[in-house]
Amino acid sequence: MQESIKSPLSITINEKQEGPIHLPDDGREVAVAVQRLVKTFGKHEAVRDVSFTIGKGEIFGLLGPNGAGKSTTINMMCGYLKPTAGDVSVNGLSLSGHLRAVKRVIGVVPQEIALYKDLNSLENLEFFGKIYGLSKKECRQRAEQLLHFVGLYDRRKDAIETFSGGMQRRINIAIGLINNPDFLMMDEPTVGVDPQSREHIFATIEHIREQGPRSSLRCRFFNRS
């Protein structure tokens, strides 16, 4: 069994420097820029000076052992957790200065199954659509579209509690897309599922990229071999 490593996440994909990070001049359209993120909890340093950029349409994987700070980094990028230092920009908007605007253009697929078990899959999607301010008609149209997209439209009226873990993960992904985000963050989207369900999830993510110039970040993705 691999021992959990408690050292803080510390990666720099852009060249490390003092002061602000300059985006790489490599022809990419940058969707997300993470700039010198730091997060401490008391005396514990969970994330140390993390910097990277994600181009439009890219699928970017953040890998590391348990306890390294991957989920903490994602939570800061989502605006759920305030950084001790550093900043994140999405489509040129700083998270520290434009939190609400940034949240409107990102989608989040959490590590935990975030579904209401007493609702069916269609009702779950419509519920989260309303949170994002979609009209009743828009909620229904978007929910049905996404259920087709993840291959579960035929189960739209079935209670979530009757779904397998892999099917619930696919509904989780659909909810992350309900607001048609420019950038999708997924925290361990294949954890705890069987190989067949994992392949369904991989296929869904590939389809997301094929739909347009949406970028995504995946935390600790599993080897497909």
Contact 146, 68 (CB under 8 A): no
Q: Which two tokens stand for residue 103?
A: 């949240």
Same domain assignment for residues 121 and 85: no
Pair 136, 161 in one domain: yes
- Same domain membership, residue 94 and residue 118: no
103 CB-near residues (< 8 Å, 6+ apart): 78, 79
Q: What domain range includes position 22?
A: 1-104
7 and 31 within one domain:
yes
pLDDT, tens digit (0-9, with 9 covering 90-100), for 97-149? 999 999 888 999 888 888 999 899 999 999 999 999 999 999 999 999 999 98
179 and 68 housed in the same domain = no
pLDDT digits (tens, 9 = 90+) for 40-56: 999 999 999 999 999 88
**In this structure, are 125 and 177 located in the same domain?**
yes
Which residue, of 104, 134, 160, is where some domain finishes? Answer: 104
- Residue 44 φ/ψ, nearest 5 degrees: -90, 125
Instruction: Write down the pTM of the prediction.
Output: 0.77
Count of structural domains within the chain: 2
Same domain? 122 vs 198: yes
Task: Output the domain CATH number for residue 169.
Answer: 3.40.50.300
